[in-house]
Amino acid sequence: MSTIPASRFDPVSTLADVARLAGVGVGTASRAISGNGYVDVETRLRVLEAAASLGYRRNAAARALRERRSHVVGLMLPDIHNEFYTASAAVLQSELDAAGYQLLVASTGNSIDGERHAWETMLDRQVDGVVHVPVDPDGAPPPGLPVVQLNRHTRTATATAVVSDDVAGVAELTRHLIDAGHTDLVALVGAPRLSTSDERATGFRRAADAAGLVENASAAPRYRVVVTEFSADGGAEAMERVGHDLPTAVVALSSRLVMGVLRWAGACGLRIPDDLSLAGLGDPEWYAIWRPGITTFAPPLAEMGRRAALELIATIGETNARPTTTIRLAGEVRKRGSVRIVPHDGGSNCRT
Amino acid sequence: MSTIPASRFDPVSTLADVARLAGVGVGTASRAISGNGYVDVETRLRVLEAAASLGYRRNAAARALRERRSHVVGLMLPDIHNEFYTASAAVLQSELDAAGYQLLVASTGNSIDGERHAWETMLDRQVDGVVHVPVDPDGAPPPGLPVVQLNRHTRTATATAVVSDDVAGVAELTRHLIDAGHTDLVALVGAPRLSTSDERATGFRRAADAAGLVENASAAPRYRVVVTEFSADGGAEAMERVGHDLPTAVVALSSRLVMGVLRWAGACGLRIPDDLSLAGLGDPEWYAIWRPGITTFAPPLAEMGRRAALELIATIGETNARPTTTIRLAGEVRKRGSVRIVPHDGGSNCRT
DNA sequence: TTGAAAGCGATACCAT
DNA sequence: ATGGTATCGCTTTCAA
């Protein structure tokens, strides 16, 4: 019956303790601490003082139970150990933190089962909302739960999505290659059902078509799109396949694929950019360190994280559903040394 | 007064609803669902069925309030966007998930203030325990809260820590250099107050001393330890400083420092390993892709995450404090091409 | 402005 | 084995 906590699980003190010490009712103490409702300035001060002296801390569970909101939002991503997502997650976390939300992280492991499991977790925890990097292109979030999709979006517009404008970005990147004189291109893309892969391929095709390159022609001017597994191995294997009939430049539409190309090129003794030009996607730190630096389209990952957080907070705030939109943020093409400038002479259309 | 939830925050149904539908008391329903206490098999089935048909989901807040434990554990790390930590975090998360815990992530931003703020967050949420990558070498976790330190440990042993055996690992790495014939070494280390930096430097010194190299001598056999900022810039700047009096091999004791060395070497036109050998720490994916591959000591990050999770779960389970220990896990030296084998002839002790 | 009291939803104790 | 009930700590009417 002492005031010493029976175990480490017990709260140091409760609102009732604070109220008692301050000589007020719990209602008043609650208002003083939460700042909701009228409290005499002097009374508030007494309460705050009492709270401080007791080391009082509001019990989140009790609050959540009563308020019917947890002040926790979930983040569902395919893989915590992937700098592409964590680049957004870092900003997202700080933005959410500033708004008084905590971040519950669950990984979906890039599988539909994993995704289902993660949804269960989120629902079980009664999170107030979820930022979701979708795995299943046809999946839909549980109805009624505020959700913002990040990075990828599902086929049906079931939630607001914050994505990079990959179509424009990759098109610009591709144009850069073409402007540099390349007329024989190969693009490497990952799993075709994901919105990101689709859009990246679309951006590439659009720019290549516009420049008059012909898909799958047997000689320049031409372009090819090679679909492969979304990994370094996939990238290397894809280059293996086109190896007998090399383009002058390849666009690897993910950093993993860039790795694969690099590994393959290294193994073959091909030099970049002398023997083959390379452009990538994303911008992990090593792109800039690599000799030559990797020219790339970098999605605005940090900004995307920020927007996703703000969008989710707004959605949670609204009582009724808000219209689902797709927010496309522009990225940046970063030109480095991996793309060779082709001297403007050779080819069939010299006219000296 | 309908059964439609008044808002999306309202639970679809409560235990009372389930109990009513199944024609039992709430107590029985609770026991049937939680699996604690006696329930007739047939009754349990009825309850489960009712729960399923109502889409019942236990309310986490109510449960936490009553049980006095949240089933949530915190993860505090300096920077979410750092593959060194997330490599552990991914495993940690899945291990925790399997044990029925959710992960609340907070970043400390590598500052003491940020760390304080993160502790507040954890305490406010009444997490059951915390996995903590410490920033302040002299900090102490809040008393009474189960904490496992990951990766680094604070000066005073206030909590169990799961770390990599960097002393042994870096010593082995250094021996590898020496065995390859290098007798003029430079080690680059980061902020000296962190346990990791200390231990890495110690491992280096130990191996160098044992091989008879002399610290700060003006010619081989010698070694130097350069302390610098824990970043690519720091690494490059450090090499700038030693540039006029190059060693034959440098050991960069973090992947950021490796980047710095690589960038500097590239800018100087120095070739690795012909002009300078390089060994690193950690093993980001690009180490293996780089030409030549980066020889390195790789801490067992995944295993560390696993152990930290298990250790924390065990600590939470114990009613009374368990002894704080430091668990050192062995990593692995991965030999690749960045270290040159020095031909065994030059030097003073040739004896034909 | 303030205090009293009614829940929020689940668990666990105590009879039955 | 089961049902009722007190309880966790807080927010929020409702009167005063």
**Per-residue model confidence as pLDDT tens digits over A101-111:** 999 999 999 89
For testing contact with chain A, the best of B88, B125, B256 (most A CBs within 10 A): B125
B113-132: average pLDDT: 96
- Between B5 and B74, the more confident residue is B74
Question: A238 and A209 in one domain?
Answer: yes
Higher pLDDT: A21 or A9? It is A21
**A102 closest CB neighbour out of B57, B89, B121:** B121
* Cβ pairs bridging A and B (under 8 Å): 145
Q: Are residues A201 and A130 in the same domain?
A: no
Same domain (yes/no): B115, B152 = yes
Q: What is the mean pLDDT of residues B161-189?
A: 98
Hey, which bits of chain A come out as E strands?
Answer: 72-77, 102-107, 129-132, 147-150, 160-164, 184-189, 214-215, 222-227, 249-252, 277-281, 295-298, 326-329, 332-334
Q: What sections of A180-300 are H helices per DSSP? A: 195-210, 232-242, 255-268, 286-289
Answer yes or no: is pLDDT of A136 > 50: yes
Average pLDDT over residues A161-174: 98
pLDDT > 60? residue B2: no
Residue B274 has pLDDT above 70, yes or no: yes
Residue A9's pLDDT band (cuts 50, 70, 90): low
Q: Report the relative pairing of strands A102-107 and A129-132 from DSSP bridges.
A: unpaired
**Does the residue B351 lie in any domain?**
no
Question: How far, in Å, CA of A65 to CA of B111, rounded?
Answer: 34
A90–B72 CB contact, under 8 Å? no
E strands, A216-324, are: 222-227, 249-252, 277-281, 295-298
Percentage of chain B beyond pLDDT 70 is 94
Query: Residue B21 maps to which CATH number?
Result: 1.10.260.40
Closest-approach residue (CA) in chain A for B84: A81
For residue B223, tell me if it sits in a domain.
Answer: yes
Give yes or no: residues B279 and B318 share one domain: no
Task: From A174, A173, A70, select the one nearest A123 (Cα to Cα).
Answer: A70
Interface mutation target, options A8, A69, A115, chain B, most CBs of B under 10 Å? A8
| CA distance linking residue B245 with residue B253, whole number of Å | 20
User: Is the peptide bond between A247 and the residue preceding it cis, with omega within 30 degrees of 0?
Assistant: no
> Residue A4: is its pLDDT beyond 80?
no
Q: Which of A298, A318, A340 is where one domain is finished?
A: A298
User: What's the half-sphere exposure (Cβ side, CA atoms, 13 Å) at B70?
Assistant: 32
Res. B348 pLDDT band, cuts 50 70 90:
very low
Q: Is the pLDDT of residue A277 over 60?
A: yes
Tell me, yes or no, whether B193 and B294 share the same domain: yes
Average the pLDDT over each of A201-205, B6-10, B213-217, B288-292 and give the range with the smallest value. B6-10
**Between chains, do A83 and B79 touch, taking CB under 8 Å as contact?**
no
Look over chain B and give the mean of its residue pLDDT values, rounded to a whole number: 92
Across residues A81-98, what is the average pLDDT?
Answer: 96
Instruction: Mark which of B249, B277, B298 sits at the end of a domain.
Output: B298
pLDDT at A352 over 70: no
Percentage of residues of chain A with pLDDT beyond 90: 86
Residues B227, B188, single domain; the answer is: yes
Neighbour order of strands in the sheet with A72-77? A326-329, A160-164, A147-150, A129-132, A72-77, A102-107, B102-107, B72-77, B129-132, B147-150, B160-164, B326-329
Distance from C-alpha of A82 to C-alpha of A150, rounded to nearest angstrom: 14
Nearest-by-Cβ selection for A105 from B93, B232, B291: B93
What band does B3 get if pLDDT is binned at 50, 70 and 90? very low
Is the previous residue joined to A300 through a cis bond, with omega within 30 degrees of 0? no
- The answer to whether position A85 is within a domain reads yes
Minimum distance, in Å, between the CA of residue B212 and any CA atom of chain A: 35
A307 assigned to some structural domain: yes
pLDDT digits (tens, 9 = 90+) for B100-116: 999 999 999 989 999 99
Contact call for B59 and A126, based on CB within 8 A = yes
Contact B151, B75 (CB under 8 A): no
Q: Which residue has the tokens 């500033």?
A: A98
Tell how far CA B246 is from the center of its chain: 33
Question: Which H or E run includes B292?
Answer: none
A323 is a domain residue:
yes
Digit-coded pLDDT (tens) for A207-236: 999 999 999 999 989 999 999 998 999 999
Q: Is A344 exposed, middle or buried (0-12, 13-18, 19+ CB in 10 A)?
A: exposed
Q: How far apart are CA B221 and CA B120, in angstroms?
A: 51
Nearest CA in chain A to B143: A8
pLDDT at residue B258 tops 50: yes
CA–CA gap between residue A149 and residue A134 (Å, rounded): 7
When pLDDT is cut at 50, 70 and 90, the band that residue A146 belongs to is very high
In terms of Cβ atoms closer than 10 Å to its own Cβ (0-12, 13-18, 19+), residue A138 is: exposed
Lookup result for tokens 């120095």: B270
Q: Contact B159/B289 with Cβ under 8 angstroms?
A: no
CATH number assigned to the domain comprising residue B126: 3.40.50.2300
3-state secondary structure of A326: strand
In a domain, A351, yes or no: no
- Count structural domains, chain A: 3
Same domain (yes/no): B195, B153: no
E strands, chain B, in order: 72-77, 102-107, 129-132, 147-150, 160-164, 184-189, 214-215, 222-227, 249-252, 277-281, 295-298, 326-329, 332-334
What's the pTM?
0.93
Output the pLDDT for position B220.
82
CA→C1' distance for B312 and D15 (Å): 50
Question: Does A349 have pLDDT greater than 90?
Answer: no
Same domain, B138 and B213: no
Rounded to whole angstroms, how far apart are CA atoms B302 and B298? 11
Same domain, B144 and B170: no
Give A323's pLDDT tier (boundaries 50, 70, 90).
confident
How confident is the model at residue A73, as a pLDDT?
98
Q: What share of chain B is helix, strand, coil (3-state, %, to 5)?
A: 40, 15, 40
For residues B130-147, give the mean pLDDT: 94
Q: Are residues B272 and B197 in the same domain?
A: yes
B15 touches B56 (CB < 8 A): yes
Query: Among A90, A123, A146, whose Cβ lies nearest the Cβ of B80?
Result: A90
Distance CA(B321)–CA(B319), nearest Å, equals: 7
Average the pLDDT over B176-180 and give the result: 98
Residue A91 lies in a domain: yes
Co-location of B180 and B292 in the same domain: yes
Which DSSP state fits A285?
A: T
Whether pLDDT at A3 is above 50: no
DSSP A21-56: HHTS-HHHHHHHHH--S---HHHHHHHHHHHHHHT-
Q: Are B242 and B266 in a shared domain?
A: yes
Does residue B201 lie within any of the structural domains? yes
pLDDT tens digits along A55-88: 999 999 999 999 999 999 999 999 999 999 999 9
Residue A6 has pLDDT above 80, yes or no: no
**Cα separation of B248 and B260, whole Å?**
17
Average pLDDT over residues A287-300: 97
Round to whole Å and give the CA distance between B21 and B347: 89
Q: What domain range is A84 assigned to?
A: 72-163+302-331
- In whole angstroms, give the CA distance from residue A331 to residue A248: 25
DSSP B99-128: TT-EEEEEE-TTSHHHHHHHHHHHHHTT-S
* Through-space separation of residue A44 CA and nucleotide D5 C1' in angstroms: 36
pLDDT-derived band at B344, boundaries 50, 70, 90 = low
